[in-house]
Amino acid sequence: MAAPNFDLIRGGQINQAGDERALFLKKYGGEVFASFEESNVFVDRHMVRTLTGGR
């Protein structure tokens, strides 16, 4: 009797592209920024710059 053929699907991949943590890192990064903006009380007291196309 042959062994069954199972396809392993990782929950964090974007369209099964290979990086198993891609979606989790996107979600975590968004939560970090949201938490920072929520808890930072000095935002209006210093200069804030936005990087466009930065890495």
pLDDT tens-digit profile of 28-37? Answer: 878 888 898 8
The mean predicted confidence, pLDDT, of the chain is 77
- Distance in angstroms (rounded) separating the CA atoms of residues 30 and 3: 42
Task: Check whether 46 has a pLDDT greater than 80.
Answer: yes
Q: For residues 23, 43, 41 and 45, what is the CA-based torsion angle, rounded to 10 degrees?
A: 170
pLDDT value of residue 14: 66
For residue 19, give Cα distances in angstroms to 26, 46, 52. 12, 37, 25
Q: What is the pLDDT of residue 12?
A: 67
H-state helical runs in the chain = 22-39
